[in-house]
Amino acid sequence: MEEKKQRIRELTEQLNRAAYAYEQEDREIMSNFEYDRLYDELKALEEETGIVMADSPTVRAGYEVLSELPKVRHESPMLSLDKTKEPQALAEWLNGQEGVLSWKLDGLTIVLTYRGGKLFQAATRGNGEVGEIITNNAKVFKNIPLTLPFSGELILRGEAVIKYSDFEKINAGIADIDARYKNPRNLCSGSVRQLNNEITAKRNVHFFAFTLVSAQKEDEPVKFVTRSEQMEWLCAQGFDTVEECLVTAQTVKEAVQAFEGKIEKNDFPSDGLVLTYNNIAYGESLGRTAKFPRHSIAFKWRDEVRETKLLEIEWSPSRTGLINPVAIFEPVELEGTSVSRASLHNISIMEGLELGIGDTVTVYKANMIIPQLADNLTRSNNVKIPETCPVCGRPTHIKEENETKTLYCINEECPAKKIKQFTHFVSRDAMNIEGLSEATLEKFIDEHMLAEPADLFHLDRYREQITQMEGFGEKSYQNLMASIEKAREVSVAKFVYSLGILNIGLANAKLICRQFDNDIEKVRRASREEMVEIEGIGEVIADSMAAFFEKPENGKIVDDLLKEVHFAAEETVGEKFAGKVFVITGSVEHFANRNELKEVIEREGGKVTGSVTAKTSYLINNDSLSNSSKNKKAKELDIPILTEEEFLKMLG
């Protein structure tokens, strides 16, 4: 019994850590398959022993309310649903009753309240008991009605989602691969909970109603006999609703298969189905357990899993230096297609699987789309992490942050990084040349139009070639040329930052350029000793700057660029944060992103760095109580931790 109790504690801690990483930090430390497997093991142990920890994921639902948004307590707790992966279990659950089968959308659950025909309040599900009021943001969702034909009080629930097509467009506009959003759900969560609804409006959030909580007119409730009647009525009020169909025990399996056939073509993220008794009175008469309501049950797709043999681990360098492990295995048929490779995401996941060449592994498709390794059945653990980059042969480096290990090539001259030089050069904080995605830059490089950054200013030589490229036409070409011309005027600091010098962020570039009167020739000739004397510039940064300009090949790059650009007058810098060093971590709500907050600090003379040290003046983190490594370090060093609200008060 003691061993089982200990296993319950281990599983609870492990699952909570994975859920927090996914929901709060937008990162994945275990696969969906692994999470479900451990969850099922925990649930079985709890049922066997009768022991359920207070923080068990089987009884605790939703994320913690952490933002500065106003809070609201729900009239009744919003419980999670019990779940199954067996269509036969759905037929048995119906118990002779008619049911409504619909998508289980993968977004953020929202409660809407209308009074007098107008939207009165919108709130998130939060932790099931307390949510956050996001009314201003809901008003800019793409498809929420602000006024209704119904003039009484109406309360309903639904899911806010960002469609795959919008998600891809948003990510395509972010040049830095590492800064791109991981999945639509996390992007939606951040978008819905913004304090600035201008940002929400740009994210194309959609709302799909799935439950009518209540409808009252002049103290008389509007009564419905069935769920399908409720949904038809909500449609008549102007709401988009989740796709649904009526089922019986005899037809539910066929209906599940029909939904399954639509997954690949769906433009919205889903993670299963929901089955609800159509007869409202019958469903409500069943009551609820401490964990789940009895009127509905969730269905999660049973992953099609195949055994195969691991042939090799391919180490795939990215353009940012990150080297991803990819499992190569004997081809297997999954969900109708042949699969022979799957990303392992990072070293931590690879090590957890104890992979060895020749091992028998099981493979599945996450959400029936993305190939993943589910398990390693033989665990010979003989895979070696490469000590050199597979492209340039120079030494690799393992970085560990937030319990996740990743492998990097630290050679700035690595050919795999060539695209990075151009992507960084054209990015918003650098030369800000619009219309040059990574894919477009790759095409230009492959066609030998670009060899060094200055070549970007001579793309007009290839007008005919560019206008005939796929995705390009005369209008796209003209827009690109206009953006390039606009980029010819740039600040000295952004110019220096655009060069992609190791360890040099925009904040450091501004400090250095300011010290040398924004004179690029003085900056180029500055010695290590002169730069170290600048407040906030240490030996590492000084060495990087000096080493870069000492190389003749870099001197040529700069000389060629100086023939193409001219320098704009510098903005006046305030002194409110002069001499102060900030670190920003976690999500932000008052600003579009952390870069925008960083710019505000720098405009007032402050500096933003990436890690907490004894030189840090303040750590900005809306979750001041979290156990993140940066919070722990700040507390150890007695460095104040500010929320955005507190920072804004300092800013005045």
Residues serving a catalytic function are: 104
What tokens does 625 get? Answer: 């109580």
CB 570 within 8 A of CB 518: yes
d(C-alpha 191, C-alpha 184), whole Å: 10
Residue 205, strand partner residues: 162
Q: Which long-range contacts (CB under 8 A, 24 or more apart) does 554-562 make?
A: 554/499, 555/524, 556/452, 557/452, 557/453, 557/454, 557/499, 558/499, 558/520, 558/524, 560/452, 560/453, 560/454, 561/453, 561/454, 561/495, 562/520
Q: What is the DSSP string of 412-467?
A: TT-GGGHHHHHHHHHSTTTT--TT--HHHHHHHHHTT--SSGGGGGGGGGGHHHHH
**Three-state DSSP state, 646:** helix
d(C-alpha 44, C-alpha 49), whole Å: 9
d(C-alpha 174, C-alpha 160), whole Å: 23
Residue 159, strand partner residues: 109, 208
Q: Sort strands 641-642 and 618-620 into parallel, antiparallel or unpaired.
A: parallel
Q: Of 206, 255, 213, which is closest to residue 230 (Cα–Cα)?
A: 213
Q: Of 446, 405, 425, 391, which is closest to residue 176 (Cα–Cα)?
A: 425
Amino acid letter, 638? D
What tokens does 336 get? Answer: 């109708």
Return the residue matching tokens 């054209």: 426
CB 214 within 8 A of CB 157: no
